[in-house]
Amino acid sequence: MEGTLNDRLVHEFTSDSAPCTYDFVSSHPAWFQSAIRHTELIPGAVVTQQILNDAEHWMKPNASALAFATALEHGHQSGSTEPWIQYLVCALLLSLQRKDATVLECGGFIGKTSSRLATTLEALGGGTLIVAEWDPDAPERADLTQAALEATRCPNVQWTVRREDALSVIRSLPDESLDYVFLDDDHSHQHVDEEIRLVYPKVRTGGLITGHDVWGSCALHEEFERYGGYALDLPRLGAAGGLGILQCR
């Protein structure tokens, strides 16, 4: 790492402003990713042990720096679920180990999480994915979600994008017909409270209800905790983030 860039990196990562960190990382993505790779090659003496020790010191106070770097590496698009939340959501679905599971996702946005959920169902041997995606102010989101799922090779997964309000979709489903739910549409407290209340009896015993943006500006942890669930506070790329988890008994 060149001294001048390293000095600037240290300065940006130790600042209190996440946007400042983002501006730097986004303007030097190739260099940043190269620098991270180099730090893993200690035997090659690309970086000295002293610099690595310093890196440990200045990286720890600002986890958002690594979060932004991870997001850039995965081609994250603003507004989408963070990559690590997507992994957690799919890992929880995988952990249920249910054949022919039925999954409901409320809020497809552009289909990144939808595609991962479909891929996870395929890995489990197949299943059903229902995506409720409808925003009258952004009808193209349903088209993008549809296109993302069409591009996903999951021959054993039956999926559908329902272009209607999530609450309407939930009400239409039979009781005990779902195994897994991911809520990521309307983030108002009243809406999410009603979603959880309505979807709870639709989930089979032992199934999971999860939800995005439970910490930060949305504070939806209140709804998950009210129903006996948990809320994980994880690095955020915006004003809200984290994952709520509720197991149906």
Q: Each residue's pLDDT tens digit in the chain (249 positions)?
A: 344 444 544 454 444 444 444 455 556 555 555 555 554 433 443 344 454 445 444 344 355 556 666 666 566 677 789 889 999 999 999 999 999 999 999 999 999 999 999 999 999 999 999 999 999 889 999 999 999 999 999 999 999 999 999 999 999 999 999 999 999 999 999 999 999 999 999 999 999 999 999 999 999 999 999 999 999 998 887 788 999 999 999
Residues 106 and 36 in one domain: no
pLDDT of 44 reads: 40
Residues 27 and 145 in one domain: no
User: From edge to edge, which strands make up the β-sheet containing 127-132?
Assistant: 157-162, 127-132, 101-106, 178-183, 203-216, 240-247, 230-232
Residues 38 and 95 in one domain: no
pLDDT of 65 reads: 57
Q: What's the pLDDT tens digit per position in 75-133?
A: 667 778 988 999 999 999 999 999 999 999 999 999 999 999 999 999 999 999 999 99
pLDDT of 17 reads: 45
Residues 37 and 159 in one domain: no
CB distance 141 to 135 below 8 Å: yes
Residues 48 and 89 in one domain: no
Residues 153 and 179 in one domain: yes
How far is it, in rounded angstroms, from Cα 197 to Cα 141?
26
Of 54, 73, 92, which residue is a domain's last? 73
pLDDT of 237 reads: 77
Residues 99 and 194 in one domain: yes
pLDDT of 66 reads: 63
Number of domains in the chain: 2
Does residue 78 belong to any structural domain of this protein? no
Residues 159 and 179 in one domain: yes
Residues 103 and 219 in one domain: yes
Of 43, 73, 103, which residue is a domain's last? 73
Backbone angles phi, psi at 156, to 5 degrees: -100, 10
Residues 95 and 204 in one domain: yes
Does residue 212 belong to any structural domain of this protein? yes
Does residue 49 belong to any structural domain of this protein? yes
pLDDT of 74 reads: 64
Residues 131 and 201 in one domain: yes
CB distance 248 to 224 below 8 Å: no
Full domain range(s) for residue 58:
3-73
pLDDT of 236 reads: 82
Residues 66 and 178 in one domain: no
Give the bridge partners for 106, in sequence order.
Answer: 132, 183
